[in-house]
Amino acid sequence: MRGQEFNAWSPDGGNPPEHISIIAFTRMLGGPIDFTPGAFELSLPTKENNQINTTLAQQLALYVVIYSPIQMACDLPENYENQPTFQFIRDVGVDWEQTQVLAGEVGDFVVIAREERETGNWFVGGVTDENSRSVTVNFDFLDDNKTYIATIYRDNDASHYKTNPTSIEIEKAEFVKGSAIDLIMKQGGGFAMSLMEKE
């Protein structure tokens, strides 16, 4: 498949925003993928007409949406310095007990939840194409009689994959089985969420 390196090599400006929402329903059905997520510098200074056509929130979501048991952070170390969003990369699992596809349309968007093996932590990632859209995440997959602390990394009102890709919001919330939240994924954007049992 065309990985993130294609953004630098492509003569046409890089992978289009709908790329992952297609891959999730095609190539991902064949097994694990090497995609190198986690770019925080989304412009490509060495390739004038190219960029990474996602928001920062979508870059985080890729750790959940794309299944890769050997994961990495693909950017330069200095681009992660003093970045509170890097906490999601520290927290996110790579070995999953179970996966649930919560919503999606081929070529438009996808929302996936994965339970980390042995910890019981859940992670949710959602990505969209070039269109902004609202999705409802229902937490029916959580264990009964447990409360989870969620950290949500999401696009904000200013986020846009072309004009403001690094604009992001981080918020905390508590959820139980049966809870739900509405989230807006901006153009080329998404969200990532960690859910850890409250002690």
Calculate mean pLDDT across residues 185-197: 98
Calculate mean pLDDT across residues 21-41: 89
What CA–CA distance (Å, rounded) separates 113 from 167?
23
Measured CA distances, 172 to 91, 106, 149, 184 (Å): 15, 30, 7, 16
Calculate mean pLDDT across residues 47-67: 90
* pLDDT tens by residue, 115-140: 999 999 999 999 999 999 999 999 99
Number of continuous H segments (helices) and E segments (strands) in the chain: 4, 8
Calculate mean pLDDT across residues 165-189: 97
Calculate mean pLDDT across residues 101-108: 97
DSSP class of residue 79 equals G
From the CB of residue 133, how many other CB atoms can be counted at a distance below 10 Å?
A: 16
Calculate mean pLDDT across residues 172-187: 98
Confidence (pLDDT) at 88:
97
Q: Is the pLDDT of residue 36 over 90?
A: no
Residues contacting 113, CB < 8 A, separation 6+: 64, 99, 100, 102, 122, 123, 124, 137, 141
Mean pLDDT of the chain: 92
Pair 47, 8: CB distance under 8 Å:
yes
Report whether CATH 3.20.20.70 matches the domain 6-197.
yes
Burial class of 88 by CB neighbour count within 10 A (0 to 12, 13 to 18, 19+): buried
Q: Is the pLDDT of residue 26 over 80?
A: yes
Catalytically active residues, by annotation: 5
pLDDT higher for 76 or 8?
A: 76
